[in-house]
Amino acid sequence: MIPITAGARGRLLPVSLPMRYFGAAAAFQVLAWALLLASADAIVEFAGGLGPVFAALHLLTLGVLAVTAVGASLQMLPVATRQPVRSVAAAKWVWWLFTPGVLLFAAAAADYRPQLMAGGALAVLAALGVFAWLLFANLRAARGMPAIRAYGWAALLSLLGMLVLGMTVVTHYERGVALDRTAFALAHLLLASYGFMGLLALGFSCFMLPMFALAPPPSGRWASVTLALAVAALLVALVASFFGRHPPALALACLLGLAAAIAHVAMMERSLRSRLRPPLGAAFLLVRVSWGCLVASLLLGGGIALDWLPQRLVVLFGVLLVPGWLLTFLLAVLQKIIPFLASVHAGAAGRGPALVSSLTPERTLAAHRLLHLAALGLLVTGVITGLVAIVQAALALALAAAITFAAFFIFVLLRLRGTKGSADVLQPSN
C-alpha cells in the first residue's frame, strides 16, 4: 500500500503537494487570458508599466510558469538528485504564501495601486525565498546527474537575481526610487524567463523528456556545453542591459543563446530518435512548437537589438518567449506529468496502481492542443499586423484553451478521488 501522506523521509511526496501547485497554475492561466482578453487593445502597443497587461503578464509568469516550476521541481528534483525534499511543511508554506501573493500583486498592478502591489510582491518574495532554500538544500546534498544539478544551480542564482531586481522595480513604483527602470525591468525579464524558468526547463528536459519517451538521456557533456552557452548568453545580456543596452552586445547575447537553443534541441532530438517505443505522444508536438518559439524569440531579439527589425516587434518577442516557448513547454510537460503522478497515487484502495491512460482524457487534451496552438498562431499574426480583432480572436481561443486545460486537471482530480475509496488524498493536510 502506498503511504499517501508520506513525509520528507522519502522522495515520493503526498499527491496533494504537487497537485495544489498545478491546480493553481491551471486557475491562474484562465485568469490571465481572461484579463488579457478584456484589455486586448492595449496589448499591441504594450511597452511596460502598470495596468491590466502587466498584471496578466505576471499572472502568466508568476502564476502559471513559476508555480508550475516550483510544483514540478518539488516532486521531480528529488527523483533526479536522489535527495528528499528537506521540509514538506515548508513546501506547503511556499504555496500558501505564493498563491495569495500573486493574486494580490496582479490585482493591485491591474488597478494601478503600487502600495498594495508591494504587499503581494513581499509574499511572493517570501515564498520564492523559501523555495530557493529548499532548492539550495536539495542541490547541495544531490548525487548523480551532474549536468542537471548544474542547471539547477544556475536556475537558483537566476531566481535570486530575479527576486532582487523585481523587488527593486516594485520599490521604484511604490516609493518613486530613482533608477533606470527599463534596464532593471529588462534584466528582471531576462533572469526570470531565460534564467530561472528557461534553465529549469532545459535542465529538466534532459531528465523528464527521455523518461516520458523511454529514450536514453542526452550526453552529460553536451548538456554541460549547452548550459555554458546559455549562461554566457545570459551574462552578456545582463551586462548589456545595465550599460546602455549596447546593440552589438545584446545581439551577441542572442547569438550565444541561439547556439545554446540549437544545441539543446539537437541534443534532445538525438535522444528522442533513440527511443524504445515508436509513438512519442501528442504532447511532444507542443514541446517541438515551444522549441521553435525559443529559437524564433532569440532570432527576433537579435534582429530588434541591431535595429534590423522595428521596435514595435518587441511585443512579438514577448509572445514568442512567454506563451510561445515557456507556457507551451510547461503545458506539454503537465499533460504528461499530471496523469503520471496521479497514477502513482491512485491505487491506494488495494486495486493496484491505476493505468496512466485511464487518467488521461485524450479528447480533452487534443482539444486543448488545437485551441492553444491556434491561439498562439493567431496571436503572432495579430501582433505582427497590429490588428486588434485578430488579437481578440487569439485571446478568446487562448482563454478557451486554458479552460479546457483546467477541465483536464479537474478530470484527473475526480478520477483520482474516485480511485481512492475512503482515503481522500486530495485534502491538503493543513
Partner 1 sequence: MFYSRQTSLRLHEEHLATIQLWGRLEQSIAARVAEAELDALLRNCSAALAEEVTRHFEFEERELFTRLAEAGDGDIAELLTEEHETIRSAAHALRELLALPQPDAAARRQLGALGLELAERLVAHVQKEEMALLPALEDLLDEETDRELALAYANS
Applying CB under 8 A, which residues contact partner 1? 1-3, 6, 9-12, 79, 82, 84, 143-145, 211-212, 214, 216-217, 276-278, 340, 343-344, 347, 352-353, 355-357
Rounded to a whole number of angstroms, the minimum distance from the CB of residue 71 to partner 1 is 18
User: With respect to partner 1, which residue has the nearer C-beta, 178 or 276?
Assistant: 276
Rounded to a whole number of angstroms, the minimum distance from the CB of residue 273 to partner 1 is 16
CA distances from 290 to 191, 216, 316 (A): 19, 21, 15
Could you tell me which residues come within 8 angstroms of residue 297 by beta carbon, excluding any fewer than 6 positions away?
Answer: 317, 320, 321, 324, 325
User: With respect to partner 1, which residue has the nearer C-beta, 49 or 353?
Assistant: 353
User: With respect to partner 1, which residue has the nearer C-beta, 205 or 241?
Assistant: 205
309's grid cell: 527589425
d(CA 398, CA 420): 33
User: With respect to partner 1, which residue has the nearer C-beta, 15 or 402?
Assistant: 15
DSSP H/E element including 168: helix 146-175
d(CA 345, CA 12): 10
Rounded to a whole number of angstroms, the minimum distance from the CB of residue 12 to partner 1 is 4
Rounded to a whole number of angstroms, the minimum distance from the CB of residue 216 to partner 1 is 7
333's grid cell: 510537460
d(CA 44, CA 105): 23
Rounded to a whole number of angstroms, the minimum distance from the CB of residue 276 to partner 1 is 5
Integer Rg of the chain from CA = 21
| Residue type (1 letter), 300 | L
- 389, with CB counted inside 10 A (0-12, 13-18, 19+), is exposed
| CB of 397 closer than 8 Å to CB of 430 | no
User: With respect to partner 1, which residue has the nearer C-beta, 184 or 204?
Assistant: 204
- Reduced to 3 states (helix: H, G, I; strand: E, B; else coil), residue 340 is helix
Rounded to a whole number of angstroms, the minimum distance from the CB of residue 211 to partner 1 is 5
User: With respect to partner 1, which residue has the nearer C-beta, 255 or 349?
Assistant: 349
User: With respect to partner 1, which residue has the nearer C-beta, 2 or 367?
Assistant: 2
d(CA 173, CA 2): 50
Rounded to a whole number of angstroms, the minimum distance from the CB of residue 213 to partner 1 is 10
